[in-house]
Amino acid sequence: MDQNFYEQVFELVRLIPKGRVTSYGAIAKSLGAGRASRMVGYAMRNAALAHPPIPAHRVVNSSGLLTGKFHFNPPELMVELLEAEGIVVKEDKVQQFKKVFWDPMIEL
């Protein structure tokens, strides 16, 4: 994977609507790289450097867990950003995950 893959990830993440989340795996799959969810995670780790900004807080793991929150400064910022968009988070997990899940394979 290269910088071009990161740019594709960033462009896709910018399309996630406010109040919705998606998963690393769903992004990878929609880009034709179904086994590259870890690379999507690496891209999200670098999202703070991207312009225009990336709403990386909207990307969680396939169970709705906020596994990337420790890459936010402070880590609680990920929860705060999601809650500001109306997403309920309890114990670092998105509640009603299926309801707020945005599937790029279907919704693009």
Q: Tens digits of per-residue pLDDT, 20-47?
A: 999 999 999 999 998 999 999 999 998 8
Pinpoint the alpha helices (H) of 1-108.
Answer: 3-13, 24-30, 37-45, 76-84, 97-100, 104-107
Q: Which two tokens stand for residue 62?
A: 């396939």
> Could you give the angle at the alpha carbon of 83 between the alpha carbons of 69 and 60, nearest 5°?
40
- Residue 38 makes CB contacts below 8 A (sequence gap 6+) with 24
43, burial (CB in 10 Å: exposed 0-12, middle 13-18, buried 19+)? buried
Residue recorded with tokens 């279907």: 106
> Do residues 100 and 94 make contact, with C-beta atoms less than 8 angstroms apart?
yes
- Statement: residue 19 has pLDDT above 60: yes
Per-residue pLDDT, averaged over 84-91, amounts to 98
Determine how β-strand 59-60 pairs with β-strand 89-90. unpaired
Listed by start position, the domains of the chain span 3-100
* Fold classified for 3-100: Arc Repressor Mutant, subunit A (1.10.10)
* pLDDT over 70 percentage in the chain: 96
